Amino acid sequence: MMMEPLILEQVEKSFKDGDKENHIVKNLSFRLKTGEVVAIIGPSGSGKSTFLSIAGALQSPDKGKVIVNGTDIATFSDIEKANIRLNHLGYIFQTSNLVPYLKVEEQLSLVLKMANQWTKESKRKINDMLVAVGMEQRSKFYPHQLSGGEKQRVAIARAFINDPEIILADEPTASLDSNRSMSIIELIAKIVKEQNKSAIIVTHDEQILPLCDRIYVMKDGQLMEKGNKSE
C-alpha cells in the first residue's frame, strides 16, 4: 500500500482586501502518494501558490487539516513549522535563490547544518547529490559563475540534500528555455523515483505535464484532477 506523506482535508484560506474577504482556497482536499510527481496548473490568481505555501508549512490555513507524515501541522507555531520545513520538505522556486557568497557545495552544507543533520558522512552525501544533478565539477563555483540551468540544478540538489519526503516546486522552469525546462523536470522526477520521494510542481509550462503522474487544475480555490500521463 502506498503511503501518503501529505494530506490536506477541507482546507480553507481567505485574505482581507479592505472590507472585502477574498476566499483563495475553498474546502480543498488533496492526497499525495509516495513516489509520484503531481502537477498543479491553472490561471494566475486561482490559488496555486497559496495552496503550495499551505502544503509547505509556510502559512497556516484558516480551517482544515494539513497532515505531514501522519501529523496535523495546521495549528503549529512558527517554530514548529520551521522544523517541519527543515526536516521533511524541500523547496524549488522560480529563481534558484542561491546564497551569492557561498560556493555550490556550501549551499548544500548550510541546509544540513540548519537542520542539525551534519555528520562525518555529510561531505560524501553532498558529493553524491552533486553527482546526481551533474554538478560535481562545479562544487567550488559561486552562483555568478553558473548558467541559469546550472543554478536550478544546484537548487534541486539543495532541496533534496536534507532527505525530505516531499518536494514542492513553484514554477521551477519559468526562467529557463524549453530544453532546459524539460531537463530540470526530468531530473526532479528521476530523483523522486530513485529515492522514493514525492513532488508537487506548480507550473504554467504544459510541455512538462507528460512527465507527471497526476495533473490537477486549480480553479476558484479548488483542485480538479485533469488526468495523468497514461491518459
pLDDT tens per residue, range 185-214: 999 999 999 999 999 999 999 999 999 999
- pTM tops 0.85, yes or no: yes
Burial of 78 (0-12, 13-18, 19+ CB in 10 A): exposed
For 17-48, how does the pLDDT look when each residue is reduced to its tens digit (9 = 90+)?
888 888 899 999 999 999 999 999 999 889 99
> Tell me, what's the pLDDT at 59?
94
| All structural domains of the chain with their residue ranges | 6-227
The CATH-assigned architecture of domain 6-227 is 3-Layer(aba) Sandwich (3.40)
Average pLDDT value for residue range 99-110: 98
Q: State yes or no: pLDDT of 133 exceeds 50.
A: yes
pLDDT tens column, 135-180: 999 999 999 999 999 999 999 999 999 999 999 999 999 888 888 8
Helix (H, G, I), strand (E, B) or coil at 18: coil
| pLDDT tier at 2, thresholds 50, 70, 90 | low
- Of all helices (H) and strands (E), which one includes residue 168? strand 166-170
Residue appearing with cell numbers 560556493: 103
198 contacts 6 by C-beta, under 8 angstroms? yes
Backbone phi, then psi, for 147, in 5-degree steps?
A: -80, 170
Let me know: does 224 contact 40? Beta carbons within 8 Å: no
